[in-house]
Amino acid sequence: MTQEVKEQIVELFATLKEAHEEMQIHLEEQNYTNVNTILADCQECALLIGNTIEQFENNQEKIIRELEEYYEKLYWLNSNLEEGRPINGGEIHKALDKRINEICKEVEDNIKVDL
The pLDDT assigned to 58 comes to 87
Answer whether 71's CB lies under 8 Å from 46's CB: yes
Answer whether 56's CB lies under 8 Å from 5's CB: yes
Cα 24 from Cα 35, distance rounded (Å) = 8
Q: Supply φ then ψ for residue 2, to 5 degrees.
A: -75, 160
Backbone φ/ψ region at 103: left (φ over 0), alpha (ψ -120 to 50), beta: alpha
The pLDDT assigned to 115 comes to 80
Cα 8 from Cα 106, distance rounded (Å) = 15
The whole model's pTM is what?
0.94
* Percent of the chain residues past pLDDT 70, beyond the cut: 100
Express each pLDDT in 76-95 by its tens digit: 999 999 999 989 999 999 99
Check whether 67 has a pLDDT greater than 90. Answer: yes
Answer whether 46's CB lies under 8 Å from 16's CB: yes
Check whether 105 has a pLDDT greater than 90. Answer: yes
